[in-house]
Amino acid sequence: MEGNYYMIHDYLIFIGVFAVFFFLTVSIYLWGQNKRLKQRNTRLSETNKLIEQKLNEVQLEHIGTKLNPHLFKNILNSVQSHAYQTYMSLDKLANVLDYILYESNNKFVSPKEELNFALSLIEINKIKINPLFDFRIKSRINKSDAIYEEKVFAPLISVDLIENAFKHTDFLAQDSFISVHMELEGGVFIMKVSNKASLKNVLEKEKSGFGSQSLDQRLKMIYNNHYKLTKSSKNGIFTAELNINLGEFYDKMRYS
């Protein structure tokens, strides 16, 4: 009887040890499988990010090939139609072309470079209008801002708002005007452009203009949730305002 007791006791110990060993074996196996799955998911996630990045680069290059000739054609038309100001126009044109041919090939330029380009582009477009035309330009640029000379600005971002204002302004209207406001403070860039335009022109631009579509695409692909672009039309006055938090975007670039 006592022998049977010890046999049962030993058997239960064996079962317990076997159960513990089996549990540990299964746990180690499942842990290994889970680790391998996590590593695989990490690799897949990295691969997806790489594919998405390459796709965005291809899309941006495709947009750029359409944007640059379009901009160049508009600039040449401005210069050609006002030959009496050729010298001044060509001087500004040289600055703009240098930027388009060399700087715009870079993924990013500094706010300083983009702002200088925007001002040259404005001067070229101004030769199309009467000297008495109500043109207002105001800039409040903090040149000591931390990102003023950092490569954080996507080149040619300012083109669409400027070109759109000159292209769709009703220059014959008595109260016609163009207003451009540029600001850089605390790492935040703001560009606000307003102009007197017919509602018909504004609607046609919104429906068919390549520039507006390309700008929206570029901003979304590059700056994601670090920008805000608003457009409105009221009483024949069209206003577009672009706000980019370059400081936040720069921090993300450095630490990602």
The string of pLDDT tens digits covering residues 193-219 is 999 876 555 445 544 443 456 788 889
Structure tokens at 128: 């199309």
User: What's the CA gap between 193 and 217, in Å, rounded?
Assistant: 19
In this predicted structure, what is the pLDDT of residue 151? 94
Report the domain count for the chain: 1
Letter string b/e over residues 5-39, b meaning 16 or more CB atoms within 10 A of that residue's CB: eeeeeeeeeeeeeeeeeeeeeeeeeeeeeeeeeee
Residue 174 maps to a domain: yes
Which of 160, 153, 128 is CA-nearest to residue 231? 160
CA dist 251 → 107, 143, 146, 187, 239 (Å): 17, 19, 11, 10, 30
Q: Which residue bears the tokens 């720069």? A: 250
Note whether residue 61 is domain-resident: no
Express each pLDDT in 139-185 by its tens digit: 999 999 999 999 999 988 888 899 888 888 888 788 889 999 999 99
Does 110 fall in a domain?
Answer: yes
Domain of residue 148 covers: 71-255
Residue appearing with tokens 């207002």: 136
Least Cα distance to 222 among 154, 159, 160 occurs for 154
Q: Is there a domain that residue 45 lies in?
A: no
Task: Summarize the confidence of residues 48-66 as an average pLDDT.
Answer: 56
* Inside any domain, residue 246: yes
Give pLDDT, residue 88: 60
What residues form DSSP beta bridges with 138? 181
Q: List, for residues 228-256, the tens digit of each pLDDT value.
A: 999 998 888 899 999 999 999 999 888 86
239 in any annotated domain: yes
Domain CATH for 240: 3.30.565.10
| Percentage of residues in the chain having pLDDT higher than 70 | 59
Model confidence pLDDT, tens digit, residues 58-109: 555 555 545 555 565 566 666 555 555 555 666 666 677 777 776 767 889 9
pLDDT tens for 113-130 read: 999 989 888 888 887 777
Domain assignment present for residue 51? The answer is: no
Assigned token pair, 250: 């720069």
- Give residue-wise pLDDT tens across range 21-46: 656 676 676 677 767 767 766 765 66
* Structure confidence at residue 108 (pLDDT): 92
Provide the pLDDT for residue 97: 72
Residue 102 lies inside a defined structural domain of this protein? yes
Bridge partners (DSSP) of residue 153 are: 109
Task: Supply the DSSP string of 62-119, one letter for each residue.
Answer: HHHHHHHHHHHHHHHHHHHTTGGGHHHHHHHHHHHHHHHHTGGGSS-B-HHHHHHHHH
Distance CA 75, CA 92 (A): 10
